[in-house]
Structure 1
């Protein structure tokens, strides 16, 4: 897993948060796949609700535990969480009730 996570953050003010997410997602499809896998596992174990922020922390934890590089620059912006939740629901409509969605303040 460590070699898979070569991520870039673009804090350019010229892009909207949604555009930054799209850019990040297109460069890092493995993040979505990991979130999808974890969500499926939780649902298959009977969970009715899943917190996307919890999944982000598990993703960070797993990466940290599987890498030997204490100086790793692995980053995933918390601002992407609502976009990933929506993407998971869009591509897996059966999970509509699994994630609680709120309005995204800045698109």
Structure 2
């Protein structure tokens, strides 16, 4: 499936119902991911598409921007619909599902939980 074929009908990003300042980034990510499991699926699809096209390095920032571009018009909710704080968490989830993609992404140590 190419990025053009992604479903636009599920593009509403729901936000957790708690203030972000009281929870860690990981806790906020877990709550966000539970409400928005489609994001990981689409990041997985975009990554697979990049691999199919022969890319050997991929930046999660690029994938986030593609999602923002594809879904920005259709999203509703808070100003930070796809929070950059969650980028490293999504890469780790992608690599849990696809360890064969480990050479595609540069990973750094997480300093803030």
Matches within 5 A, 1:46-65: 46-64=54-72
1:90 aligns with 2:88: no
Quick one: structure 1 residues 62 and 22, their matched pair in 2 at CA, closer, same or farther if it must change by over 3 Å? Answer: same
Match of 2:24 among 13, 16, 21: 16
CA contact (8 A) 2:15 2:77 kept: no
Taking structure 1 as the reference length, the TM-score comes to: 0.86
Taking structure 2 as the reference length, the TM-score comes to: 0.81
Corresponding residue number in structure 2 for 1:101: 107
Q: Which runs of 4+ in 1 moved over 2 A?
A: 2-6, 9-14
How much is the aligned-residue C-alpha RMSD, in angstroms?
1.8
Quick one: structure 1 residues 47 and 15, their matched pair in 2 at CA, closer, same or farther if it must change by over 3 Å? Answer: same
Match of 1:39 among 44, 47, 50: 47
Runs of 5+ unmatched residues, structure 2: 1-7
1:73 aligns with 2:81: no
Aligned residues: 103
Helix, strand or coil for the counterpart of 1:84? Answer: helix
